[in-house]
Chains A and B, each alone.
Chain A
């Protein structure tokens, strides 16, 4: 199966938010009351009921306002921190298209996954289960486009074979974000500025503490456990226990 991906060309985005609405509609996510925080951006971040969000970057340049928009969502990392930290195998998983979906039945409500994610994506619903963009894996498996990509009127949001999307963008002379990071992201961006401007890490990586926890400390711990058991057993049969000279514990019998 060829790996699928989104290619999001932020330079084409008009912040119409069809993607936000289409996702809510397809995934039957209720509307949320929000407060005006002085921007058209709404809501200001991903929520348990919002799997993709148009983030507004508003820069004042003299009398002008520079407006940048970016569709934020799960990046469908090949090397996914969320999958790495999830204690319940199969709660978060890669589909055969390479997208990161989840199984609510298997989610144990531990809320570990958000700590493993370099992009702060997973959210938790009222039942405390994981929620995030699942790349409409059920639609994709049936040959349909993800709801958000289907709804996008400007072709800012494209979905398809990853290699092909990359080849097309490169042929058009576009610079891509996420081609090789974390084993290659499943969401590639064409940006109009530095990643930092879009609140994206320049070189996204699994957080160092998470790497040490899962890839160093965990295997060392299992080694340490068996090592300690082994050393104790070895000590017992080679040097042996400190046996007591029990003489003064025994009642003395006459003549002995």
Chain B
């Protein structure tokens, strides 16, 4: 019996990291547009015009990548059962030191919620981003509303991403291995995705 279990295939991992890299590029190239304090971040790209270009094309990659990533996991992500509801009610046990683990499927309820949020946010950012691609192309009201929505969802996304990165790295040791190498340790699966482990073992 091996110690590790396959979790994410190569294509799935490549797609995830493509989305992650484009997200990082989007943040770095967009900060200069967000506030004067961050204007210097444009230097990373050789200037504001170049930064804006990177922002636009990274946005396209991110939008398409996010939608594909979501579709490839949609079956798992969109199904919530009684355990998931229990998990949500107890906030995944993250608020106490020795909480009992509620058995979860391939993704826990929090990851599912984040997955759904991420694709909605990506769609909103993408749609509003296309409107403000050229701020003189559409009506003033639509453009102004797009600026507002783009900034609101950026903030939500940023907060969501900080939580996602924390929980997927130091917050839950062993999780990152799945996304890096495609496999997780058996002990990880037992703790974090009990129902998934059972199913995988059975098959």
A residues sitting closer than 8 Å to B (CB atoms) are: 85, 87-89, 108-112, 114-115, 120, 124, 207, 209-210, 212-213, 217-218, 220-222, 224-225, 227-229, 232, 235-236, 239-249
Q: Which secondary structure characterizes the binding site on chain A?
A: helix
**Minimum Cβ distance to chain B for residue A21 (Å):** 27
B164 to chain A, nearest CB (A): 10
Contact count band on B:
35 or more
Verify A225–B162 contact, CB threshold 8 A: yes
**A111:B186 contact, CB within 8 angstroms:** no
Cα-based distance from A232 to B136 in the complex (angstroms) = 40
Q: A89-B39, A235-B94 are in contact. Are A249 and B155 (CB under 8 A)?
A: no
Q: Spell out B's residues near A (CB within 8 Å).
A: 3, 32-36, 39, 42, 48-49, 52, 93-97, 134-136, 140-141, 143-145, 147-148, 151-152, 154-155, 158-159, 162-163, 166, 170-174, 185-188, 191-192
Task: Please tell me if the beta carbons of B147 and A210 are within 8 angstroms of each other in the complex.
Answer: yes
CB distance from B43 to the nearest CB of A (A): 13
A225 and B35 alpha carbons, distance in the complex (Å): 14
What is the chain A residue whose CB lies nearest that of B151?
A: A217
Name the contact of A228 in the complex, choosing from B135, B158, B171, B188 (C-beta under 8 A).
B158
In the complex the two chains form, is A220's CB within 8 Å of B155's CB?
Answer: yes
Residues of chain B within 8 A (CB-CB) of A222 are 35
A232-B135 in contact (CB<8A) = no
Given the complex, which residues of B lie within 8 Å of A242, measured CB to CB?
93, 171-173, 191-192
Q: Which residue of A lies closest to B34 (CB)?
A: A218
Q: CA of A109 to CA of B49 in the docked complex: distance in angstroms? A: 7
Which of chain B's residues has its CB closest to A243's CB?
B173
